[in-house]
Structure 1
Amino acid sequence: MAKPIHSVIYIPGIGDTKTTFQEIAAKSWRFWGVRPHTFPMRWADQQPFEPKFQRLLAYIDDLLAQGHLVSLVGASAGATVALNAFAARPQIHGVVCIAGKVNRAHAIGAWYHQNASSFVESAYQAQDSVLSLTTGQRARISSRYAIVDVIVPRRDSIVPGAQNKTVIGIGHVPTIALQLTVGAPNHLRFLKRLPQNLTE
């Protein structure tokens, strides 16, 4: 029996209207045996979170219906929606969060409330989503964060029960860039080595 296609959906963070570098980096993941996709949420377009979230879920559902394994990689704000999707679709194979703002939504600054309110909605929802995840689901999450990150401190990225890992990198954007490129084989290996999810 042929192995199923392993689709890995990359979800960028704030500023996802300019994702050329991120898309090119994600496309290179095919060399590690996965089928990469990029799904920008368009955080700053002023649309509420729920319609954006439903579009992502529909995209995931389409891949699942085709028999794919589906994993998510979310960077920064994208990590919040990756966790929300995992709570809504336990069939998802695994999740990687890169410098994800998944804790302390109350500490998100005023600029984001004014310019990317859908991210704020997603961040609050993610806190509830994490609480709803089973022990088995948490074991399918790898959260990676910088040695130093003043935008998303380490404590804001830790997911209880997940593989939480400090990676080489100083600063928010440089750490994301490194994890999309030289760090990608490591987190893709994490996803590929997960046993097949019994809910798939």
Structure 2
Amino acid sequence: MKRRVHIIYTPGLGDRYDPIRRACLSVWRMYGVRVTMVPMRWMSDEAYGDKRARVEEIIHKSSDEKIVLMGESAGGSMALTLYAEHVNTLVGLVTLCGKNTRSDNVSSYLYRRNPAFQDSMHRAEVVAIGLSRADRRRFVSVVPWYDPTVPVAQTLLPGCQKMTLPAVGHLFSIFAMLTIYAPLIVHRVNKL
């Protein structure tokens, strides 16, 4: 019997968009996958480890499914870190406009307002170095044609898969990925 794909979704900054994210992701079950969005509450004083623990709890509870981590924007760093540390139990990693590299290219203002994001970025850069070639091939970076907020080059790791979709901008591209491009993304997830 084929195991169902379970996408564990870590959102980016902008906690106020979580209801919109949740509504968009609820439609994905029509494409045959289960999605669990784990709120990151980036702007809270909650420590990085507490945010991470919520995601790990879902990973451990879903061991009978094919788990794919999906990180959006700042959530890409969290998903990348968890993927690297659970690479033997996860099917793969997908990021949507994911801020996966260049922790030095984030404004100090954003880090002050979202302190756990800085920890997440630094950890992601450290663990990314240790990913094998095979692990990187199970990582898909979904990007738009152009994103001024998270430049495409900062979403990619050498050897990862790149999926470029016709969109421009950051918020618009993420919204398009969660809605009109959802079937394409789920199709790619199912190929991991």
The letter of the residue matching 2:157 is: V
Runs of 4+ in 1 over 3 A off after TM superposition: none
**Are positions 1:75 and 2:72 aligned together?**
yes
Q: CA deviation at 1:141?
A: 0.9
Q: CA deviation at 1:16?
A: 2.1
Contact 1:46 1:115 in 2 (8 A): no
**Are positions 1:89 and 2:86 aligned together?**
yes
Provide the residue aligned with 1:198 in structure 2.
none
Structure 2 segments unaligned to the other structure (5+ residues): none
The letter of the residue matching 2:71 is: G
Residue identity over aligned pairs, in percent, reads 28
Q: CA deviation at 1:158?
A: 1.2
Provide the residue aligned with 1:24 in structure 2.
23
Provide the residue aligned with 1:138 in structure 2.
136
RMSD across aligned C-alpha pairs, in angstroms? 1.2
C-alpha separation between the residues in 2 aligned to 1:15 and 1:84?
20
**Are positions 1:105 and 2:96 aligned together?**
no
Provide the residue aligned with 2:46 in structure 1.
47
C-alpha separation between the residues in 2 aligned to 1:145 and 1:179?
9
Provide the residue aligned with 1:186 in structure 2.
184
C-alpha separation between the residues in 2 aligned to 1:30 and 1:146?
24
Contact 2:38 2:54 in 1 (8 A): no
Secondary structure of the residue that 1:169 maps to in structure 2? strand
C-alpha separation between the residues in 2 aligned to 1:147 and 1:129?
27
TM-score for the superposition, normalised by structure 2: 0.94
How big is each residue's C-alpha offset from its partner over 1:101-146, in whole Å with a ceiling of 9 and x where there is no partner?
Answer: 1111011101112110111110111111211112111111110222
Q: CA deviation at 1:99?
A: 0.6
C-alpha separation between the residues in 1 aligned to 2:112 and 2:179?
32
TM-score for the superposition, normalised by structure 1: 0.91
Secondary structure of the residue that 1:122 maps to in structure 2? helix
Q: CA deviation at 1:152?
A: 0.7
C-alpha separation between the residues in 2 aligned to 1:188 and 1:130?
24
Provide the residue aligned with 2:151 in structure 1.
153
